[in-house]
């Protein structure tokens, strides 16, 4: 099964706030080079097709350039190593093959106030302020033009180099989720921030804001925790089911809630069901299958074919999987194992929905959420509305995770390739049948307005 949000967000965002903090001590350049060699060897060993996007000679040149830089200085901090290594890993263009870092902020002097006190959204490549945690009143929708004298487009470009993703839309979606953290990681800003802004009327102005401590940052962010799942009935005969995660650790809770939701949907004799995965970064396919059983009654496959690479490193992490299939399937000379995804027959379900199904997707729809969207699309179960998914419909995934031996930087590497149910790979996400600018609507309107606008644009 694929591990999307459960592992990807864990390594990209949650690890930013882990209590297992990176040491502030430096390591020698020789140990830093050891880390690089370890990382490169693991990438080659584990990934089923590492050079599918990046030419091997270019990758080798990047490694040599990094080593040259490492030897120019005697000592390196973990965050400095991250700044060198992350663009290399991101260059492979695989959203499940990543390098991250733990939050060194936990070990830093809380009085330094180093994080930018803003939540932002990137719409049409413009950075708009969604929420400000400053004493100054900054209007929602104000454009950020520059930070500390650096143009915002330059900042986005530099941060994007650190982001592992198959496309720009997913990269920007990931930047949005942790912009202040990435800004610190790339530029090491602290203290006050000099902002160049433009209000909604087009008037430009400058503003100085004080950075906030990680403690305050955590408190402010916790105030806007989104719900994992929610069922609403915005208009008559229509249900709106928001699924923000397929997190495998919440499997039993998910099943209980989904059972309740469809009991209520059945009780109300609903005709139209909207399922919103626009902010679902993935998780466990068991949850996706459980949801499919409530909306589809015919046999289906999660994927057309799965390619899995055997390696000693992957075996240590997934020994149960390899042992289970080792004597059933042949492995080729490249240590690749190919197998068809089994057909799944949905169980009898008296609460199965039989009306019209509409699935909402956007650039943050990734991993298992994209797989779910591909099932809906390829089997004609419903209508896809919104934006192309950030995750590719056929892609690499199921992450093997680990840490570099000296800097302790966490990494993840795909060891499988998944071919969508329809059996083709066009290097695209799941495309919508009806295009709607989901992120723009979500930014400017509250939840009730947003849902009603989605429904009206779809049904009318």
pLDDT in tens, 249-293: 999 999 999 999 999 999 999 999 999 999 999 999 999 999 999
Once rounded to an integer, what is the mean pLDDT over residues 22-27?
A: 68
- Phi, psi of 138, deg, nearest 5: -110, 120
Q: What is the pLDDT of residues 219-241, one digit of tens each?
A: 887 776 778 999 999 999 999 99
Whether residues 159 and 34 fall in one domain: no
Residue 264 placed within a domain: yes
Residue 460 placed within a domain: no
User: How far, in Å, CA of 425 to CA of 374, rounded?
Assistant: 12
Query: Residue 165 maps to which CATH number?
Result: 2.30.42.10
Which among 146, 181, 212 is the end of a domain? 212
Residue 325 placed within a domain: no
Query: Residue 255 maps to which CATH number?
Result: 3.90.226.10
Once rounded to an integer, what is the mean pLDDT over residues 168-178?
A: 93
Helix axes 368-378, 285-292, angle to 10 degrees: 30
Q: Tokens 């199965």 map to which residue?
A: 352
Whether residues 40 and 81 fall in one domain: yes
Whether residues 127 and 173 fall in one domain: yes
Whether residues 121 and 100 fall in one domain: no
Which pLDDT does position 336 carry in this prediction?
Answer: 92
Domain membership of residue 45 as a residue range:
5-104
Whether residues 18 and 67 fall in one domain: yes
Give 142's pLDDT tier (boundaries 50, 70, 90). Answer: very high
Residue 334 placed within a domain: no
Whether residues 157 and 243 fall in one domain: no
Whether residues 240 and 185 fall in one domain: no
Contacting residues for 319 by C-beta, under 8 A, at least 6 apart = none
Which pLDDT does position 265 carry in this prediction?
Answer: 98
Residue 324 placed within a domain: no
Total Cβ atoms within 10 A of residue 317: 16
- Phi, psi of 279, deg, nearest 5: -120, 25
Q: What is the pLDDT of residues 380-405, one digit of tens each?
A: 999 999 999 999 999 999 999 999 99
Whether residues 252 and 383 fall in one domain: yes
Q: What is the pLDDT of residues 178-219, one digit of tens each?
A: 999 899 889 988 789 999 999 999 999 999 999 988 788 878
User: How far, in Å, CA of 23 to CA of 78, rounded?
Assistant: 8
| Helix (DSSP H) and strand (DSSP E) numbers for the chain | 14, 19
Report strand pairing: 356-361 vs 272-276: parallel
Residue 259 placed within a domain: yes
Whether residues 121 and 20 fall in one domain: no
Residue 327 placed within a domain: no
Which among 186, 212, 238 is the end of a domain? 212
Whether residues 46 and 181 fall in one domain: no
Query: What region, left, alpha or beta, does residue 28 occupy, with left being phi > 0 and alpha being psi -120 to 50 degrees?
Result: beta
Give 92's pLDDT tier (boundaries 50, 70, 90). Answer: very high
Report the chain's mean pLDDT, rounded to a whole number: 90
**Is residue 101 a contact partner of residue 410, using CB atoms and an 8 Å limit?**
yes
Number of domains present in the structure of the chain: 3
Contacting residues for 212 by C-beta, under 8 A, at least 6 apart = 113, 115, 117, 133, 220
Whether residues 164 and 206 fall in one domain: yes
Which among 104, 133, 160 is the end of a domain? 104
User: How far, in Å, CA of 136 to CA of 450, rounded?
Assistant: 28
The yes-or-no verdict on residue 19 having pLDDT over 70 is no
Whether residues 363 and 385 fall in one domain: yes
Residue 276 placed within a domain: yes
């Amino acid at each position: 099964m694929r591990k999307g949000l459960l592992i990807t967000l864990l390594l990209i965002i949650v690890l930013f706030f882990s209590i297992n903090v990176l040491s502030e001590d430096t390591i020698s350049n020789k140990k830093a080079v050891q880390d690089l060699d370890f990382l490169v060897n693991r990438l080659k060993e584990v990934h089923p097709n590492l050079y599918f996007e990046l030419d091997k000679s270019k990758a080798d040149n990047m490694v040599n350039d990094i080593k040259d830089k490492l030897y120019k200085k005697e000592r390196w901090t973990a965050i400095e190593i991250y700044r060198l290594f992350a663009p290399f890993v991101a260059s492979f263009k695989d959203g499940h093959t990543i390098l991250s870092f733990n939050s060194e902020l936990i070990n830093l002097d809380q009085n330094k106030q180093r994080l930018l006190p803003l939540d932002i959204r990137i719409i049409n490549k413009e950075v708009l302020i969604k929420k400000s945690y400053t004493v100054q009143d900054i209007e929602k929708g104000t454009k950020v033009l520059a930070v500390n004298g650096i143009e915002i487009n330059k900042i986005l470009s530099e941060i994007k180099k650190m982001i592992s993703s198959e496309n720009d839309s997913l990269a920007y979606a990931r930047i949005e989720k942790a912009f202040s953290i990435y800004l610190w990681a790339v530029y090491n800003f602290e203290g006050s921030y000099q902002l160049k802004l433009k209000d909604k009327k087009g008037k430009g102005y400058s503003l100085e804001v004080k950075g906030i401590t990680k403690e305050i940052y955590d408190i402010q962010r916790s105030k806007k925790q989104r719900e994992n799942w929610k069922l609403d009935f915005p208009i008559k005969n229509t249900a709106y089911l928001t699924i923000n995660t397929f997190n495998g650790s919440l499997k039993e809770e998910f099943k209980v809630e989904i059972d309740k939701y469809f009991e209520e949907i059945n009780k109300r004799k609903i005709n139209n069901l909207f399922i919103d995965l626009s902010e679902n970064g993935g998780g466990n396919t068991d949850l996706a299958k459980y949801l499919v059983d409530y909306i589809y009654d015919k046999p289906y496959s999660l994927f057309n074919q799965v390619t899995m690479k055997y390696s000693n490193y992957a075996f240590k992490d997934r020994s149960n999987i390899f042992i289970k299939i080792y004597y059933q399937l042949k492995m080729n000379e490249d240590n690749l194992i190919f197998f068809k995804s089994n057909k799944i027959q949905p169980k009898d379900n008296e609460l199965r929905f039989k009306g019209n199904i509409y699935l909402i997707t956007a650039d943050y729809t990734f991993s298992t959420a994209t797989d779910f969207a591909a099932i809906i699309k390829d089997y004609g179960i419903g209508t896809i509305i919104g934006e192309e998914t950030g995750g590719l419909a056929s892609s690499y995934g199921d992450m093997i995770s680990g840490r570099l031996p000296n800097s302790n930087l966490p990494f993840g590497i795909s060891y499988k390739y998944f071919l969508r149910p329809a059996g083709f790979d066009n290097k695209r996400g799941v495309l919508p049948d009806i295009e709607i600018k989901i992120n723009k609507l979500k930014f400017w309107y509250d939840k009730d307005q947003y849902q009603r606008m989605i429904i009206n644009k779809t049904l009318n």
